[in-house]
Amino acid sequence: MTVLFGAALGWRIHQLQRAPRRLPLWAVTVTVAGVFGSSLCQQKVVADALDELSVPGAGRLLNNVLLTIALCSLLVFFRGSAQGPGKYRRAAWELIPLGAVIVLMCVALAITPPDVRGLSLGPDVVHVPGAALFYLGAGLYLIYGLIACVVWIFRYLRTTDRQLRIGLRIGGYGLALAAAGSVLRALYVVIAWAGGPTLPVLLTIAVPLVILGIVGFLVGISYPGVHARVAALRRRRRHGRYYRELNPLWTLLAAAYPNIVLRAAPAKPLESLRPRNVHRRYYRRVIEIRDGLVQLSPYLGSDLASVAEVDAASAAAELKSALGKQAAGEDTGRQAHLVLPAANDIEADVRPLLALSRAIDA
């Protein structure tokens, strides 16, 4: 799980570098960083190293402090994303309960015997006043923050696009599971201190719920970005394939009209490996073909684009005939005109060109 959150943090930092002034991105990045740091502090090697460098229980304290900061940052994100005046001022109020719970955990840790500070919650720990106060204070804040985030998430579901809605729903269910686990942990402490029996089954259920909830939250916040990356990869592969499939048509037109070939800027080191270079070469090829068809249009006797979509072989034969007339220098007396009708996007333009190019290569 630590590795997954580390990867998610790396992606968030990459997004932050591209838009450093977007406050919501900062809030989400702090959230992911806090959960990543908290997960890291749970590792025994890291926790022991922190205890040796400072005081016993420092790893446990830092783990919970980072988790509460992450949750507070998520709350700030939701409140800061709300509409209306004073939204950031309202979001700043979340710092008050955060500060209070951090002070409470520090005080609780200070009054806890050193040999108990680093221990996990269990029958031997729950009756120690400082430890119980530590876990109960942190748990109550988590319950408050998680439930508040779930409410905010499901409030936003109706106003977001489909992909973000899916991610929010997954993240909301994950936080709801984590909230349920936090409630069970708090009940464990309260029941033990109310004179009732210690119920290990509550912790047995709570721990998997919290883990599943955190993983669900990670999947939820990562889903829109991963979906966008997958879509971008598919688009890049499609453009690369189209670029190659257009080569026969482009070769014929470039041989007849060398001036259509756009002058490319000097390539920078590793430029060919950049994803956007695939799109650039594809768009340039489509533009060059369009220019070539405009120059050849006086020799074309029909709507080549419409013919290409219906009967690509006939359109290819007509194109080759027109190129022959152009090479012979015939004067048709016609004016150059657009061969491809104006379309809403370049993807619509390229369909007849692909059909024509495939027929030429057949």
The answer on pLDDT for 117 being more than 60 is yes
Encode pLDDT of 251-260 as tens digits: 999 999 899 8
**What Rg value do the Cα atoms of the chain yield, rounded?**
31
The answer on pLDDT for 126 being more than 90 is no
DSSP string, 291-341: HHHHHHGGG--S-HHHHHHH-HHHHHHHHHHHHHHHHHT----PPP--SSP
Closest CA to 202 of 182, 177, 173, 178: 182
User: What pLDDT is recorded for position 271?
Assistant: 53
Encode pLDDT of 183-229 as tens digits: 999 999 998 887 777 788 898 999 899 989 988 988 888 888 888 88
The answer on pLDDT for 84 being more than 70 is no
Q: What does the longest C-alpha to C-alpha distance in the chain come to?
A: 104
Average pLDDT in the chain: 84
**pLDDT classification of 106: cutoffs 50, 70, 90:** very high
CA angle 242, 247, 251 (to 5 degrees): 155
The answer on pLDDT for 1 being more than 70 is no
User: What pLDDT is recorded for position 268?
Assistant: 59
Alpha helices in the chain (DSSP H): 2-18, 23-41, 44-53, 58-80, 87-92, 95-110, 114-117, 129-156, 162-193, 200-245, 247-256, 275-296, 304-310, 312-328, 346-361
Sequence-distant (≥ 6) Cβ neighbours of residue 309 within 8 angstroms: 351, 352, 355
User: What pLDDT is recorded for position 142?
Assistant: 93
Query: How much is the average pLDDT of 233-243?
Result: 92
The answer on pLDDT for 175 being more than 90 is yes
Using the CB atoms, write b or e for 24-63: b if 16+ within 10 Å: ebbbbbbbbbbbbbbbbbbeeebbeebbeeeebbbbbbbb
